[in-house]
Amino acid sequence: MSRSMWAQMQLMAACMQTSTDSSSDKKGNNMATYTITLSSAEDKALSYAALSQDEWIQNAVKERCRMAIDEIVQVVVAKCLETQQPIPNSTDLMVELAFTNNWVKTAVQRNADFEAELAARAAQNG
């Protein structure tokens, strides 16, 4: 993904109000559905930048998910080799394993850890 597209995605995220809902696909996998709300100006601006607003949003989100999955897969392969565990045969299973074993954390968790570390350092430097 180019820096330009990443910057566009961050700008879009800042402009969007989102809601989420979950459901299951035909295989019983949990699926999250996100709904975004754009102002009229934001919708028109996105129509200027993209042939299809919905397609652009879908592609941007799917691409960011793909990048995160690639990073998680690298962690899982390394950890499985390190601990001599079998490597799961699907990326979905790898993502689940990574979170179950606390090999990766959500962005919210990483941010909370970082803020706690900053607070601890500030207290030490008092």
Mean pLDDT over residues 15-42, rounded? 76
Q: Is the pLDDT of residue 62 over 60?
A: yes
- Range name among 23-27, 79-83, 89-93 with the lowest pLDDT average: 23-27
Mean pLDDT over residues 79-94, rounded? 97
Per-domain boundaries in the chain:
3-125
Q: What's the token pair of residue 96?
A: 């689940």
Q: Is the pLDDT of residue 26 over 90?
A: no
> What separation, in Å, do the N-terminal and C-terminal C-alpha atoms of the chain show?
42
Mean pLDDT over residues 11-19, rounded? 53
- Report the interhelical angle of 53-83 vs 40-49 (nearest 10°): 80
Class of residue 40 by CB neighbours under 10 A (exposed 0-12, middle 13-18, buried 19+): exposed
The CA-atom distances, in angstroms, between 17 and each of 20, 31, 84 are 10, 20, 44
